[in-house]
Structure 1
Amino acid sequence: MTSSEIGWIGVGAMGAPMCLNLLRAGHRLTVCDRDPARVASMVAAGATAADSPREVATRADVVFSTIFDDQGLRDIVAGPDGLAAGARPQAAYIDMSTVSPAASADVARVLAERGVDYLRAPVSGTVTLASSARLSTFVSGPPEVFERLRPLLAVLTARQRYVGTSEEARVVKLLINLMVFMSTAVLGEAIDFGERAGLPRDTILDAVNDSIVASAHYAGKAEKIAHRDYAPVGPISLVVKDMDLALTVANHHQAALPIAAQVRQSLALMQAQGLAGLDVAALADLPALLRSPSPTQDRQGDTP
């Protein structure tokens, strides 16, 4: 794909490595973020700074965003200095965050009024996968816009799956996150079962990852779980946000999620015990963590 004028809003843990991939591919990039240090890091790598999403949009043919939550999405799109106010004619906006279908639909209406093409393209994967452009993305929106911008998405992700014309990508991302959280909790019960019966932790993990229940998620978390390394990559506080989004969608559609609800209660227990700063992999040690005396967030990465 030829070089393009690209904008990026939100250059945090996931946004920053994806921006670097765009710069390496020869694209001109304008960025903004509430944290000046993050912007400075991108400028040092070759990007141009902007003071607001609106300013980003005035400079870019395609604007991406990676933001934290629903309110952040609404603010960067429809706020007084939002990108909708500054978007170029026939511009495109691609949001890669995990947000609710409802918030996404709200901004879709604003963007449609401005004639801005909108793709919902949440990503699945880790910061490491973002750095090496091996994320997956699930995309919904106008199919012709997806086909036009797919080469640009391929600079950032290894797999691009089109799933529908509206908010389908939001639902797909939430259901995948639900499965990540639930399967981590299931692994925790299996580990506790095996260890209480006398099996070493590494034997349990090796057996799981060499069996019918093996998964990319289990393999990716095996090292952290084996060494009880729960320094946050995907912290419990972020997991709670995503799970609450999913449960809200389930409630709207009258979908029963009993296992997810139980895992949400486990997360609430971890929050109550001061463990919200641990990585989601700590769900695999929940029985041991709750047996430990006076756990605190300061124990990130410590052995229980």
Structure 2
Amino acid sequence: MTRIGFIGLGKLGLPVAMRLAKAGHDVIGFDRSADRRGEAAGRGLGLAGDGPAAVAGAAFVFTSLPDDAALKGALLADAGLVQALAGGAILVETSTVSPEASASVAEALAARDVGYLRSPVSGNPVLAEAGTLTAMASGPRAAFDLAVPVLEAFTKAQVYLGEAEQARYAKLAINLMIAVSAGMMADALVLAEKGEVPWAAMLDLMAESAVGSPMVKYKVPPLKTRDYSSTFSCGQMAKDLDLILGAASAAGLSLPYGDLARATYRDLIESGRSDADFIAAVERAEERAGLGPR
């Protein structure tokens, strides 16, 4: 049994923390939201009164936070977690954040002799509950090797990418593909609708065709009933696209499909869909095509 502190019990963080607890680890969590703490307590997760108490004495600390500001606030503030971490501990940071924010955390943790594993995950809350996320990791190789048995509690694969911020760039690249794929599905579906292809049959065909990726297959059931309840919202996708385009700009790159995807999600937010699932790009495409609500 390993003592694990877990900071951030949101839609993805809580199921990951529960998988770690079910694997037999001693997990103590904390979230700033009273509602999230209440849900965690209802599922039997041990809780601390604040972040420093959750991580005190932990061999591993996991963080699952929404953005750069939350990451730096939690770790680098005057009373932040960096000061509470024990020397020799390993911080496994699972959020989608910028390489620049991540590098600032790396510098602070190095001064504390804390191993820093950048380990964003690919997947959604359903896959987190099932323990079948994919972890991409970068940081000290020794920290990764020690963390693999712990990561296996909630992932089906753990891919090591390098010693620095490689995992951050990999995660942004994967999310760019997801955003573009959602737009691709939207355009394809409205074209098929205009051609009077039955909706459910077209979705089944997409899932079984050469473009039937895991993401496409996962989105087919809710799309059949036009259920846009959020697993990952349009607002969150827009945030990630800003990170993607910022990283590209810093690297001297232009990403035409990234620009197009960002415009798509700007329109979705302006149409009142910030909290809808990112696949609501399909619903918006139907509106633009004059197909109306279904």
- Place the TM-score, normalised by the shorter chain, in its bin: over 0.9
C-alpha contact (below 8 Å) 2:190/2:289 kept by paired residues:
no
The separation in 2 between residues aligned to 1:183 and 1:48, in whole angstroms, is: 39
Q: Which residue of 1 aligns with 2:173?
A: 175
Q: Which residue of 2 aligns with 1:204?
A: 202
Moved more, 40-49 or 128-137: 40-49
C-alpha contact (below 8 Å) 1:250/1:256 kept by paired residues:
yes
Q: Which residue of 2 aligns with 1:222?
A: 220
Which amino acid is 2:208 matched to?
Answer: D
Deviation, structure 1 residue 44: 4.3
Q: Which residue of 2 aligns with 1:78?
A: 76
Deviation, structure 1 residue 248: 0.4
Moved more, 79-88 or 132-141: 79-88
2:11 alignment partner, SS class: coil
Question: Which aligned segments of 4 or more residues in structure 1 are displaced greater than 6 angstroms?
Answer: none
Q: Which residue of 2 aligns with 1:267?
A: 265
Moved more, 178-187 or 37-46: 37-46
C-alpha contact (below 8 Å) 1:56/1:83 kept by paired residues:
no
The separation in 2 between residues aligned to 1:38 and 1:151, in whole angstroms, is: 27
The separation in 1 between residues aligned to 2:29 and 2:290, in whole angstroms, is: 44
Mark the runs of 5 or more structure 2 residues left unpaired by the alignment. none
Q: 2:155 aligns with which of 147, 152, 157?
A: 157
Q: Which residue of 2 aligns with 1:127?
A: 125
Q: Which residue of 1 aligns with 2:105?
A: 107
Q: Which residue of 1 aligns with 2:39?
A: 41
Which amino acid is 2:37 matched to?
Answer: V
Mark the runs of 5 or more structure 1 residues left unpaired by the alignment. 296-302
Q: Which residue of 2 aligns with 1:10?
A: 8
Moved more, 121-130 or 80-89: 80-89
Distance change (3 Å), C-alpha of 1:291 and 1:192:
closer
Deviation, structure 1 residue 127: 0.5
C-alpha contact (below 8 Å) 1:137/1:159 kept by paired residues:
yes
The separation in 1 between residues aligned to 2:245 and 2:79, in whole angstroms, is: 31
Q: Which residue of 1 aligns with 2:60?
A: 62
How many pairs does the alignment contain? 294
C-alpha contact (below 8 Å) 1:30/1:59 kept by paired residues:
no
Deviations 1:243-265 (A, max 9, x none): 11001001111212111211211
C-alpha contact (below 8 Å) 1:55/1:83 kept by paired residues:
no
Which amino acid is 2:113 matched to?
Answer: G
C-alpha contact (below 8 Å) 1:53/1:81 kept by paired residues:
no
Q: Given the two structures, how large is their TM-score scaled by the length of structure 2?
A: 0.95
Deviations 1:40-59 (A, max 9, x none): 33334443322332222213
Moved more, 175-184 or 18-27: 18-27
Q: 1:143 aligns with which of 132, 141, 144?
A: 141
Deviation, structure 1 residue 233: 1.3
Q: 2:285 aligns with which of 284, 287, 292?
A: 287
Deviations 1:118-174 (A, max 9, x none): 000001111110001000010000011101110001012111000111000011011
Q: Which residue of 1 aligns with 2:252?
A: 254
Distance change (3 Å), C-alpha of 1:198 and 1:292:
closer
1:138 alignment partner, SS class: strand
Percent identity, aligned pairs only, is: 32
The separation in 2 between residues aligned to 1:128 and 1:223, in whole angstroms, is: 13
Which amino acid is 1:163 matched to?
Answer: L
Moved more, 218-227 or 127-136: 218-227
The separation in 1 between residues aligned to 2:204 and 2:2, in whole angstroms, is: 46
Quick check: 1:20 aligned with 2:5? Answer: no
Deviation, structure 1 residue 38: 2.0
C-alpha contact (below 8 Å) 2:6/2:55 kept by paired residues:
no
C-alpha contact (below 8 Å) 1:84/1:111 kept by paired residues:
yes
Q: Which residue of 2 aligns with 1:233?
A: 231
Deviations 1:53-103 (A, max 9, x none): 222221311100100000111111111221111111211100111111100
